[in-house]
């Protein structure tokens, strides 16, 4: 695949920004890669379409081809899609006893995952855990859970013949309450395919215990079918998260993207083997790399971007040394701060600047403020940015109004730029700047 991609990329012309043709050509290969990774067709199609819009017009880093750049954008977007806002490893299990419902098709790995999760909760979070099998169709499945419980030292609800799934669920609930358990896991019966009887039963169990978490267990090797399973369970039962099993196999794990896209629910864990300790918290980066299978290209583009950033920083330092510090420089600094999420920027690391950055912090210099100041600079013309002294009162008013701010804000910004330029000049003369640079790079 890499070879084929290489071919396409070579044919692409080098340019400053990605053209629609560049993007289309590279995305054709990306689409194939996604399908080869077993991402479902509609999900792959939607994903590619979304990236198309984002990538067109994006800047191409020097020394990488447009095609490589597209792969990097795809990779980043894949991570963003796979990763939810929530911490995947953190289940909502306060207010004991918290019921967790495990659902999915037969053979997906529900019983195994139930035991894995019980072990994790016991060992890592020191929870008192109770497990119960609701698989009334297969006595062997109940035995299986009891045996696993014995292995990991987690209690299982005693088996009572002739009970319905709902009856077992109710008994688990009262046992968990009376026995002082923190969590109880309900391992439901699966079917080979989705059917009404299964869904009705799972719904009844859900209504009987109101689970805090309902985890859909899906075989990570299932491809196109994963979407149907996810849609059904999400629609009929409602799930709070997904566990992908058999991620220790050869599959590329495209089901992860399909599940996430279709349900919008976080992927919480991945199963990496048959043993009860083979469960890991879902990591978007790892799975994204595996789905795309273009790790080399992503690494290459990241390296090129880092090199470029270092070059830019050096160029800027040369200007500073000459005592040049205009609004463009200030804008870069503000953007850098925004990116680094605070005042720990280039400026903050330089002697003489540290104090100023502390003052700025004390003055409520937060993200909103940074964004406002950047907006102010953006409203200036090229000439004004290069030489802010040109700004007349009337222009100041217009610029401030354009950014929806008071003129006093703009004056503050101008003062800041003048102070910075002063410091740069002084430092440049004393050779301090060179020293500061050395300590930074
Ligand atoms: P259930 O029918 O959904 O309860 O599925 P089981 O938990 O009984 O699992 C079915 C089979 O899949 C068993 O042989 C498990 O050992 C195996 N299995 C479950 N999870 C994993 C996994 O993450 N990796 C591998 N390699 N096998 C797994
Ligand atoms: Mg089972």
Handedness of CA 398, 399, 400, 403 (dihedral sign): positive
pLDDT band, very low/low/confident/very high, at 364 (cuts 50, 70, 90): low
Phi, psi (deg, nearest 5) at residue 252: -90, -5
For ligand 1, what atom is nearest to the CA of residue 272? Answer: 23
- Closest ligand, as measured to the CA of 273: 1
Instruction: State in Å: Cα 109 to ligand 2 middle.
Output: 7
Using a CB cutoff of 5 Å, list residues around ligand 2, an ion: 110-111, 141
Contact between 257 and 121 under an 8 Å Cβ cutoff? The reply is no
- Closest ligand, as measured to the CA of 272: 1
- Closest ligand, as measured to the CA of 135: 2
Instruction: State in Å: Cα 293 to ligand 1 middle.
Output: 26
Residue 15: pLDDT above 50? no
Give the distance, in angstroms, between the CA of residue 336 and the centroid of all CA atoms in the same chain.
22
Q: Which fold has domain 98-281?
A: Rossmann fold (3.40.50)
Instruction: State in Å: Cα 137 to ligand 2 middle.
Output: 10
Give the tens place of pLDDT for each residue, 46-70.
999 999 988 888 887 777 788 888 8
Handedness of CA 23, 21, 30, 305 (dihedral sign): negative
Instruction: State in Å: Cα 21 to ligand 2 middle.
Output: 50
Please give the CATH architecture assigned to the domain spanning 2-85. Up-down Bundle (1.20)
Angle at 68 between CA 65 and CA 71, to 5 degrees: 155
Instruction: State in Å: Cα 141 to ligand 2 middle.
Output: 5
Handedness of CA 16, 18, 21, 27 (dihedral sign): positive
Lowest mean pLDDT among 151-165, 225-239, 319-333: 319-333
Give the tens place of pLDDT for each residue, 313-326.
777 777 777 778 88
Which residue positions form the known binding site for GTP?
Answer: 104-111, 187-191, 245-248
Global ipTM: 0.99
Tell me what pLDDT residue 340 has.
Answer: 62
Mutation probe of ligand 1 site: the residue of 274, 276, 278, 282 with most atoms within 8 A of C-beta: 274
In whole angstroms, what is the distance from residue 382 CA to residue 112 CA? 64
For ligand 1, what atom is nearest to the CA of residue 271? Answer: 23
> For residue 230, what are its two tokens?
């996810």
Where on the phi/psi map is residue 253: left (φ > 0), alpha (ψ -120 to 50), or beta? left
9/218: higher pLDDT:
218
The residues, ordered by sequence, that sit 6+ positions from 168 with a Cβ below 8 Å of its Cβ are 132, 133, 134, 136, 157, 160
Give the tens place of pLDDT for each residue, 380-426.
998 999 888 889 999 999 999 988 889 999 999 999 888 888 877 77
In terms of DSSP H, where are the helices of 64-106?
Answer: 66-82
- Closest ligand, as measured to the CA of 115: 1
Instruction: State in Å: Cα 217 to ligand 2 middle.
Output: 11
Tell me what pLDDT residue 365 has.
Answer: 59
Q: What is the largest CA-CA distance in the chain?
A: 90
- Candidates 192, 199, 242; CA nearest to 217 is 242
Predicted structure pTM score: 0.71
Give the tens place of pLDDT for each residue, 165-209.
999 999 999 999 999 999 999 999 887 777 888 889 999 999 999
In whole angstroms, what is the distance from residue 434 CA to residue 311 CA? 16
**Domain boundaries of the chain, sorted by first residue:** 2-85, 98-281, 322-440
Residue 352: pLDDT above 80? no
The residue whose CA has the least distance to atom 12 of ligand 1 is 109
Which residue positions form the known binding site?
Answer: 104-111, 187-191, 245-248
Give the tens place of pLDDT for each residue, 89-117.
999 998 999 999 999 999 999 999 999 99
Residue 12: pLDDT above 50? no
The residue whose CA has the least distance to atom 16 of ligand 1 is 274
Give the tens place of pLDDT for each residue, 277-296.
999 999 998 889 888 887 67
Contact between 190 and 198 under an 8 Å Cβ cutoff? The reply is yes
Contact between 194 and 105 under an 8 Å Cβ cutoff? The reply is yes
Q: Which fold has domain 322-440?
A: 434 Repressor (Amino-terminal Domain) (1.10.260)
Tell me what pLDDT residue 158 has.
Answer: 95
Tell me what pLDDT residue 217 has.
Answer: 96
Name residue, tokens 């890991």: 280
Percent of the chain with pLDDT over 70: 87
Tell me what pLDDT residue 348 has.
Answer: 52
What pairing do the DSSP bridges indicate for beta strands 279-281 and 267-271?
antiparallel
What pairing do the DSSP bridges indicate for beta strands 213-219 and 98-103?
parallel
| Strand ranges (E), 234-380 | 241-245, 267-271, 279-281
The whole-number average pLDDT for the span 108-130 is: 97
Instruction: State in Å: Cα 245 to ligand 1 middle.
Output: 7
Residues touching ligand 1 (Cβ under 6 Å) are: 104, 106-112, 190, 245-246, 248, 271-274, 278
Contact between 269 and 88 under an 8 Å Cβ cutoff? The reply is yes
């Amino acid at each position: 695949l890499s070879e084929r991609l290489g071919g396409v990329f070579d044919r692409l012309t080098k340019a400053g920004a990605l053209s629609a043709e560049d993007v289309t050509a590279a995305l054709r290969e990306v689409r194939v890669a996604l399908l080869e990774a077993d991402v479902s067709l509609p999900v792959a199609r939607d994903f590619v379409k979304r990236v198309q819009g984002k990538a067109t017009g994006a800047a191409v880093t020097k020394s990488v081809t447009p095609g490589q750049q597209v792969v990097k954008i795809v990779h980043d977007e894949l991570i963003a899609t796979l990763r939810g806002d929530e911490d995947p490893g953190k289940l909502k299990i306060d207010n004991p006893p918290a019921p967790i419902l495990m659902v999915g098709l037969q053979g997906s790995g529900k019983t195994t995952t139930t035991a894995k999760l019980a072990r994790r909760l016991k060992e890592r979070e020191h929870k008192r855990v109770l497990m119960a099998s609701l698989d009334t169709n297969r006595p062997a499945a109940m035995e299986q859970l009891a045996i696993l419980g014995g292995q990991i030292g987690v209690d299982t609800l005693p088996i009572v013949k002739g009970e319905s799934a709902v009856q077992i669920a109710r008994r688990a609930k009262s046992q968990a309450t009376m026995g002082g358990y923190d969590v109880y896991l309900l391992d439901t019966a699966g079917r080979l395919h989705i059917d009404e009887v299964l869904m009705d039963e799972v719904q009844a169990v859900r209504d009987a215990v109101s689970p805090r978490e309902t985890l859909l267990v899906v075989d990570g090797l299932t491809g196109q079918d994963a979407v149907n399973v996810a849609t059904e369970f999400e629609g009929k039962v409602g799930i709070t998260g997904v566990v992908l099993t058999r991620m220790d196999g050869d599959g590329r794990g495209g089901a992860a993207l399909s599940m996430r896209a279709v349900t919008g629910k976080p992927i919480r864990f991945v199963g990496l083997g048959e043993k009860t300790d083979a469960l890991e918290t879902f990591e978007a980066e790892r799975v994204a790399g595996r789905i795309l299978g273009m790790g080399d290209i992503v690494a290459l583009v990241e390296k090129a971007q880092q090199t470029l950033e270092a070059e830019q920083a050096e160029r800027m330092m040369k200007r500073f040394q000459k005592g040049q510090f205009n609004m463009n420089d200030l804008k870069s600094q503000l953007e850098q701060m925004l990116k680094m999420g605070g005042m720990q920027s280039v400026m903050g690391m330089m002697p003489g600047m540290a104090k100023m950055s502390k003052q700025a912090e004390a003055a409520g210099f937060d993200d909103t403020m940074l964004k406002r100041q950047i907006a102010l600079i953006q409203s200036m013309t090229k000439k004004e940015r290069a030489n802010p002294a040109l700004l007349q009162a009337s222009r100041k008013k217009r610029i401030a109004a354009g950014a929806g701010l008071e003129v006093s804000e703009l004056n503050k910004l101008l003062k800041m730029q003048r102070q910075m330029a002063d410091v740069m000049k002084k430092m440049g003369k004393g050779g301090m700047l060179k020293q500061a640079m050395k300590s930074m790079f």
